[in-house]
């Protein structure tokens, strides 16, 4: 077996590691701006697939199939994002005689339609969030749209049928704002997914996002795992995940797992997948959607179960039988957290912060796992998702895991670009977070309050002493640099060109 990794960044690096441990050669693909990227350096082979724009490289099915042919790969791992949930890609791989490491193209297509997925869940006896069973296409008349909405009841959520990643979504509180919301959602969905169909879902009050990771093999076995909680979201984007959830009792866990397994079995699911639920305040849960791929947050499940999900994806694709103790898979060993380290500036509305990484020292030591995708000297491009690393902390208890995460965040150096590390340092100290009292609306509320608060401080606010120390350090650095300028008999400007030249060497 030789696996082409049809992805980039940290997940590509993660997959290459799994290949190495299984003794399988890994082929990386890269766009122009990723020539020096870590996944290219770590792989056994690397093939250039086009310009930096994702549409002409990582999203270009033909280029990737061609790369597989040229590199002699016989299997393709899509990772997540890009083509991971593209049914055409899965089919194209199959037609090209390549093993697609994931479920059948048909399964991807069915679950890719949110309404079809909700119907499948219903058939499997799993209640979905109350809402429309059929898409509300552009043809449907405004009056009828209003009727449908009234049936569901307000507040509700307008969602893209082909949706994902929080795009094509609009909350609606009353009929007055329905029309604009539908128009906005449709246009966003149209441009994002090429399908402007939307549907309506009732909006639960303060729901928690609970999801069940599962594996299915080609011999009918489905194993669900202990839940992950992903309620810490910013604008419908997960930023911190954990396992287990404080909101899930062993009894509820059993019911969630059974429901997830029922849905997966009903579609004869093969590979790694995740069923997302919303858990309401009364403890009732509802099917939200199924992701027919690996999730960004898969490491927290690996930490509390010891199972390597990526290795299992590959072994399942090799037709191996799952030999995981299903009972043990539902008993978490300790507690794990994941912080998604993004190249974003939390002090400026989380604006993207691409650019040259001048220095990098990931955290390490007891209970810490760093799944990183970058290196010092690499220029984080503006073309792709801003996730540069996932920092995972494990400890016997949630409290100890939070302390460990804080320790690791303090220890983590990324120099040259802004990251969300200072934001996570702040979040790990929030009483509600520490107490586990949160839902999917928590973080946006907290951030809004923070901005509104008079004299709101920066996430990078330093204790007074350290503030002084930064001034002292900067002055001593400048003093030493000035010394060097004299030594080198260069002008003030030379220092910076000097720096520039050193950077240039970094390619």
Among 17, 183, 206, 495, binds a copy of itself (CB under 8 A): 17
Among 35, 410, 445, 450, binds a copy of itself (CB under 8 A): 410
Among 165, 320, 484, 496, binds a copy of itself (CB under 8 A): 484
DSSP string, 458-471: PTT---HHHHHHHH
205 binds, among a copy of itself, other proteins, none (CB under 5 to 8 A by kind): none
46 binds, among other proteins, a copy of itself, none (CB under 5 to 8 A by kind): other proteins
Q: Is residue 317 within 8 Å of residue 394, measured between CB atoms?
A: no
Query: Counting contacts by CB under 8 A, is residue 361 touching a copy of itself?
Result: yes
* Shortest distance, position 462 Cβ to other proteins, whole Å: 6
404 binds, among a copy of itself, other proteins, none (CB under 5 to 8 A by kind): a copy of itself
Rounded CA gap, 284 and 202, in Å?
14
Q: Is residue 309 within 8 Å of residue 324, measured between CB atoms?
A: no
Among 95, 396, 466, 475, binds a copy of itself (CB under 8 A): 396
* Shortest distance, position 456 Cβ to other proteins, whole Å: 13
Instruction: Could you list the beta-strand ranges (E) of 248-406.
Output: 271-279, 285-291, 335-342, 344-345, 351-352, 355-356, 359-361, 368-372, 379-380, 387-395
Rounded CA gap, 331 and 227, in Å?
10
Rounded CA gap, 206 and 247, in Å?
13
Tokens of 178: 């329905």
Query: Counting contacts by CB under 8 A, is residue 228 touching a copy of itself?
Result: no
Q: How many of the other CB atoms lie within 10 Å of CB of 321?
A: 12
**Binding characters for a copy of itself, 327-346, by CB under 8 A (x = yes):** ------xx------------
Among 244, 299, 346, 381, binds a copy of itself (CB under 8 A): 299
Q: Which residues pair with 135 in a beta bridge?
A: none
* Shortest distance, position 5 Cβ to other proteins, whole Å: 12
Residues in binding contact with a copy of itself, number by CB under 8 A? 41
Active-site residue, from 293, 369, 404, 418: 293
* Shortest distance, position 332 Cβ to other proteins, whole Å: 28
- Beta-carbon contacts of 183 under 8 Å, excluding residues fewer than 6 positions away, are none
293 annotated active-site: yes
103 binds, among a copy of itself, other proteins, none (CB under 5 to 8 A by kind): none
Q: Is 486 helix (H, G, I), strand (E, B) or coil?
A: helix
Among 407, 485, 495, 506, binds a copy of itself (CB under 8 A): 407
DSSP string, 403-454: HHHHHHHHH-EEESS--SHHHHHHHTT-HHHHHT---TTHHHHHHHHHHHST
71 binds, among a copy of itself, other proteins, none (CB under 5 to 8 A by kind): other proteins
**Binding characters for a copy of itself, 429-468, by CB under 8 A (x = yes):** ----------------------------------------
Q: How wide is the angle at C-alpha 23 spanned by C-alphas 21 and 25, nearest 5°?
A: 110
Query: Counting contacts by CB under 8 A, is residue 1 touching a copy of itself?
Result: no
* Shortest distance, position 468 Cβ to other proteins, whole Å: 6
CA distances from 435 to 421, 429, 431 (A): 21, 10, 6
Rounded CA gap, 75 and 68, in Å?
8
Query: Counting contacts by CB under 8 A, is residue 502 touching a copy of itself?
Result: yes
378 binds, among other proteins, a copy of itself, none (CB under 5 to 8 A by kind): other proteins
Contacts to a copy of itself from residues 87-126, by CB under 8 A: none
Q: Is residue 293 within 8 Å of residue 78, measured between CB atoms?
A: yes
47 binds, among a copy of itself, other proteins, none (CB under 5 to 8 A by kind): other proteins
- Beta-carbon contacts of 473 under 8 Å, excluding residues fewer than 6 positions away, are none
Query: Counting contacts by CB under 8 A, is residue 400 touching a copy of itself?
Result: yes
Q: Which residues pair with 289 in a beta bridge?
A: 276
* Shortest distance, position 174 Cβ to a copy of itself, whole Å: 48
Q: Which is nearer to a copy of itself, 153 or 306 (CB)?
A: 306
Phi, psi of 186 (to 5 degrees): -60, -45
Among 202, 370, 398, 434, binds a copy of itself (CB under 8 A): 370
Q: Where are the alpha helices (DSSP H) in 72-175?
A: 87-95, 105-112, 114-123, 142-152
Q: Which is nearer to other proteins, 67 or 310 (CB)?
A: 67
Question: What is the tally of helices (H) and strands (E) in the chain?
Answer: 17, 23
Query: Counting contacts by CB under 8 A, is residue 306 touching a copy of itself?
Result: yes
**Residues that are catalytic:** 293
Residues that bind a copy of itself (CB under 8 A): 13-14, 17-18, 20-23, 42, 299, 302, 306-308, 310, 333-334, 361-362, 364-372, 375, 395-396, 400, 403-404, 406-407, 410-411, 484, 502, 505
């Amino acid at each position: 077996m030789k696996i082409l990794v049809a992805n980039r960044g940290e997940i590509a690096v993660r997959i290459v590691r799994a290949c190495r441990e299984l003794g399988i050669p890994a082929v990386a693909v890269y766009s122009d701006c990723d020539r020096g990227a870590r996944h290219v350096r770590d792989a056994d082979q690397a093939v250039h697939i086009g310009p930096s724009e994702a549409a002409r490289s990582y999203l270009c099915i033909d280029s990737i199939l061609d790369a597989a042919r040229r590199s002699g790969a016989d299997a393709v791992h899509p990772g997540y994002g890009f083509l991971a949930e593209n049914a055409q890609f899965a089919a194209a791989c199959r037609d090209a005689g390549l093993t697609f490491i994931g479920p059948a193209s048909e399964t991807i297509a069915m679950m890719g339609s949110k309404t079809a997925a909700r119907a499948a869940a219903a058939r499997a006896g799993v209640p979905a969030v109350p809402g429309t069973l059929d898409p509300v296409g552009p043809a449907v008349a405004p009056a009828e749209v209003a009727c449908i909405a009234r049936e569901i009841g307000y507040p509700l959520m307008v969602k893209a049928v082909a949706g994902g990643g929080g795009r094509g979504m609009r909350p609606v509180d009353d009929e007055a704002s329905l029309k604009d919301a539908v128009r906005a959602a449709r246009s966003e969905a149209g441009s994002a997914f090429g399908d402007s169909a939307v549907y309506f879902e009732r909006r639960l009050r303060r729901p928690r996002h609970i999801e069940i990771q599962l594996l299915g093999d080609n011999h009918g076995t489905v194993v669900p795992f202990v839940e992950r909680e992903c309620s810490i979201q910013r604008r419908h984007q997960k930023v911190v995940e954990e396992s287990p959830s404080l909101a899930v009792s062993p009894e509820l866990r059993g019911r969630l797992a059974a429901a997830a397994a029922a849905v997966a079995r009903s579609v004869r699911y093969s590979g790694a997948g995740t069923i997302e639920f919303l858990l309401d305040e009364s403890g009732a849960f509802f099917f939200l959607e199924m992701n027919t791929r690996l999730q960004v947050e898969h490491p927290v499940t690996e930490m509390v179960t010891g199972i390597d999900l990526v290795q299992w994806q590959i072994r399942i694709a090799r037709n191996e039988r799952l030999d995981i103790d299903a009972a043990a898979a539902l008993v978490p060993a300790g507690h794990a957290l994941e912080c998604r380290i993004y190249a974003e500036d939390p002090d400026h509305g989380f604006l993207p912060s691409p650019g040259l990484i001048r220095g990098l020292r990931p955290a390490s030591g007891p209970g810490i796992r760093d799944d990183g995708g970058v290196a010092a000297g690499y220029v984080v491009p503006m073309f792709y998702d801003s996730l540069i690393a996932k920092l995972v902390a494990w400890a016997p208890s949630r409290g100890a895991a939070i302390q460990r995460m804080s320790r690791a965040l303090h220890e983590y150096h990324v120099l040259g670009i802004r990251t969300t590390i200072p934001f996570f340092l702040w979040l790990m100290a929030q009483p509600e977070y520490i107490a586990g009292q949160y839902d999917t609306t928590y973080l946006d509320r907290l951030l809004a309050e923070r901005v509104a608060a008079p004299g709101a401080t920066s996430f990078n606010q330093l204790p007074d002493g350290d503030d002084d120390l930064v001034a002292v350090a900067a002055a001593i650095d400048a003093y030493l640099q000035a010394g060097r300028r004299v030594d080198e008999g260069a002008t003030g400007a030379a220092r910076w060109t000097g720096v520039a030249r050193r950077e240039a060497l970094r390619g």
